[in-house]
Amino acid sequence: MNTLHKNDIIRLRIEALAFGGQGVAHTDEGFTVFVRNALPEQEVDVKIVKKRKNYAEAIINRVVSASRFQVEPRCSYYGACGGCLLQHLDYAEQLVQKQRQVIETIEHIGGFQDLTMLSIMPSPEQYYYRNKMEFSFSNRRWLTHSEISSQQIFDNNFCLGLHAPGRFDKVVDVHCCFLLSERSNLVLNQIRAFAKNSQLAPYTTQDHSGYWRFVVIRESKQLDGMMVNLVTAADSAGDRLLEQLAQQLTTTFPFITTVVHNINKKKAQIAVGDEERILFGPGYIEEKLDDLIYRISANSFFQTNSAQAENMYRLIAQWGDFNKDQVVYDLYCGAGSIALFIANKVQKVVGFEIVAQALRDAELNSRINRIANCEFVEGDLKDQFADPAKVLARYDWPAIIIIDPPRSGMHPSLPDKIVQLQPNTIFYVSCNPATLARDLKLICQDKYRIDLIQPIDMFPHTAHCETVVRLLKK
C-alpha cells in the first residue's frame, strides 16, 4: 500500500525523463513520482508537493548524487525562464530521452506494439536555431535567483522577456537569449528601452489596461531578412509612438527589413492582432528551403527551425515515393511549405487551412516559385471534410494525405473522414506525441497500419519533439 503524503521528503533515483521534461522515479513500492527539473541517474531527496491516486509530483529538496549527463547551462536565465527546460542536460542525452518519450507515448496512449522507429534526427544547430521568438511585456516581473541575491533594486512594474515556468502572469526580463540570433538581442533591448520611456504601461489581464503586449521577431536564416512585429492594445497616441519606434529601429539596425504593428483589441493575451499596420518595408520576410522561396507574413505558421524543417521536408519527399499521377492533400497547410516542396513530384496538391493570411501567403508562394499545380482551400477542416464524397468529387481522390496539425491534434471527427477517403499513404507530422498517439489510434482501428516513425529534434533544450509517421493501407 502506498503511504506517501503531501510534504513528505523521500529519496529517489531518477530513471528517465517523462513527456514534458519532468524526471520520473518510483518508490520502493513501485509508486510513480514525477520530479521537476530532475535529470536521469540523479539521486535526490524530494518533497512531495502533489499527491494523486496513481502518481505524485515532487520538487528537489537536495541532490544526493549528480547525473553524469548534467552540464552547465549556457544561459544566465536558466531555471527562472521557461524557454529552455533541458539546457542543463547534455544534448546527446536530450536526444535519447526524447526518442524514448515518443515511442513510449505512442505505445502507451495508442496501444501499439513492435513499432519501427528510426534514430532521432538531431538539430543541425543547438543554439540560435529558431527563426521566430515571441517576447511578452508585463508589469509583473519575475526576478532570477542572481537578481534577488544581488540586493539591487529593480523596477518590477515593467519588463520584456519570457514567462517563468508555469506562470502566465510573470515574465523574466530577458536581455540575452541564445535561441534566435545575437543581433535580435540588440533589437529586443532597444525596444524595451523605448517602451519603458514611453510612459505607456504594459497590458495586464488583471484589469485589461495598458498598451504594450508582445514583441515577435522573425528572421530568415538563409536570406537575412528580419521582421519586427509589435503587438499592442488599441491606443491612437501609442500608435503614433510606434511609428517613431519603427523609424528608430530601422535607422539603428539596417538589417531589419520590415516592421509590422498588430493591434489586439481582445482581452485574450495572444500575439495576433485584429488589425495590422505596416510601419516599414513590405510587411513580410522571405525564407529559402532548397530552391524554393517562402514569403512569411506576421501571423503565418512556419516551422521555427528552418534548417531542420528543410531536413523534414526532404524526408517526406523521400518516403512519399511520389509520382506525376498522384493527387496529394496537405491538411493544415499553413503557408504551403510542404505542399510547394513536393509539388514538382506530383500531379496536384490541394492544401487546406483555416488561417486566411496563411493561405494568401501559400497562394503567393506558389506564384513566386512559378508552381501552377497547387490549390489552396480556406476553411475549418471539420466542416470541409464533413462529407468525404463531396471532397472526392471536388478535389479528386488523394493517393497521399499529409497531416500537420497544431499541438492539440485533429478534431475528433477528422480521423474517420480521412480513413473514408482511402488514401494509399498517410503522413502525420506532429509536435505533440500525446495527441499524435490519440489520432493514430483512431486512424489505425481497421484499414491502416504504422509503417515508419521518425522523431526529429526541432527544438533543442526544450521538452518538445517533432515526429513524422508514415501510415500505409493494410
Distance between CA atoms of 10 and 33, rounded to whole angstroms? 10
230: which 3 cell numbers?
Answer: 509589435
**Residue 41 · residue 58 · CB < 8 Å:** no
Interatomic CA distance for residues 470 and 474, integer angstroms: 13
As to burial, measured by CB atoms within 10 angstroms (0-12 exposed, 13-18 middle, 19+ buried), residue 89 is buried
Q: Which helix (H) or strand (E) is 257 found in, with range?
A: none
Cell reading at 219: 528572421
Half-sphere exposure of 452 (CA within 13 A, CB side): 15
DSSP-derived pairing of the beta strands 43-51 and 55-65: antiparallel
Active site residue 465: no
Cα(195)–Cα(214) distance, integer angstroms: 11
Give the number of other Cβ atoms within 10 Å of residue 283's Cβ: 17
Contact present, 9 and 61 (Cβ < 8 Å): yes
φ and ψ of 276, to 5 deg: -135, 135
DSSP count for the chain of H helices, then E strands: 11, 22
The C-alpha atoms of residue 33 and residue 22 are separated, in whole angstroms, by: 10
H/E segment holding residue 401 = strand 400-403
Grid cell at residue 445: 482501428
Cα dist. 96→149, 200, 399 in Å? 36, 47, 34
Extract the runs of DSSP E, i.e. beta strands, from 125-246: 132-138, 159-163, 171-173, 212-219, 226-232
Considering 75, 159, 177, 431, which one is annotated as catalytic? Answer: 431
Query: In this structure, are strands 374-378 and 448-456 parallel, antiparallel, or unpaired?
Result: unpaired
Which residues form the catalytic set?
Answer: 431
